[in-house]
Amino acid sequence: MSQQYGPPPGPPPAPSAGGWGQAPNAAGPGGPGGWGTGPQRPQQRKSNRSQWIIMGGAVLAVILVAVGVVLLVTGGDDPKPTAQDTPNPSGTMYTPPTPTKPVITKGPNDTGVEVGGGIWFTPARGWLPDWDKSKGGKNYILQQFNARGLIDGYYWVRQTELYDAKGFAEHLVDIESNDMKNVKIGKGVTCKPANEAIKACYALTYSGIWVAKNGRQIKMQGFVTAYQDQFDKVTATDAALETRVYKRRVGELIYMNNTLVKSF
């Protein structure tokens, strides 16, 4: 007789209290039974990493709220200026005052010919504008009687801001003496005109022989007078006559100088 393997005859014994419980799909012909539900899987613990993330988020929220309150109270830092908002550096924070320019108006003594900068002079009778328009300043000439093209003298007014009164007078005398021989220059004189608007005045006399292109020699004598105003502009008169008429007509040069002085 062969041995058979299988469950013993009859129903299985009832499970005792506290056993394994009912196993799924184990019911036999006699009703529920089997090995029970089996042991339960142990419950997993929450990850420590998730807890740190939650705590970190809470701390960050508190910090952001605190920073927002500080910015609300203090207003925060001003935004940094961009390159377009920044002016070019001037090298110093000091802004020099704007130079005061004279207001040029024509006064009662401004008659005749305007030299520039509100300075005028009145030509003496018989003196005419120079026909050579290439010369700077204002140049008037005294023609010889009944001798067109020949002159007895000239009265030339020029202005500069490169020299003071003394320097400009000496400069003009040097220029005039270059075309002469046997030049004699007198001692310079510091003059004091009556017009208070003239800050400085300097005068020089000179004489010499002017040589024409055709070789003709003419004895000349004259003087240069330079006037410096309160704005440091210098107006100078360069006046000369032939020696043969100098004593007779020097008063005309002095008259034109006086009208110039009154115009300052």
Q: What 3 state SS string does 117-137 have?
A: CCEEECCCCCEEECCCCCCCC
pTM here? 0.61
Work out the burial of residue 237: count CB atoms within 10 Å of its CB; fewer than 13 is exposed, 13-18 middle, 19 or more buried: buried
Which among 140, 158, 148, 142 is positioned nearest to 226, based on CA atoms?
158
Alpha-carbon dihedral sign for residues 224, 229, 232, 235 = negative
Per residue of the chain (264 residues), give pLDDT as tens: 444 444 555 555 555 544 444 444 444 444 444 434 444 555 555 556 566 666 666 655 555 555 554 444 455 555 555 545 445 454 555 555 665 666 777 889 999 999 998 999 999 999 999 988 888 899 999 988 777 778 899 999 999 999 999 999 999 999 888 888 999 999 999 999 989 999 999 999 999 998 888 888 999 999 999 999 999 999 999 999 999 999 999 999 999 999 999 999
**Separation of alpha carbons 99 and 263, rounded Å:** 23
> In whole angstroms, how large is the CA radius of gyration of the chain?
58
**Separation of alpha carbons 80 and 86, rounded Å:** 10
Q: What is the dihedral of CA 60, 63, 67, 70, to 10 degrees?
A: 160
**DSSP bridge pairs for 218:** 210
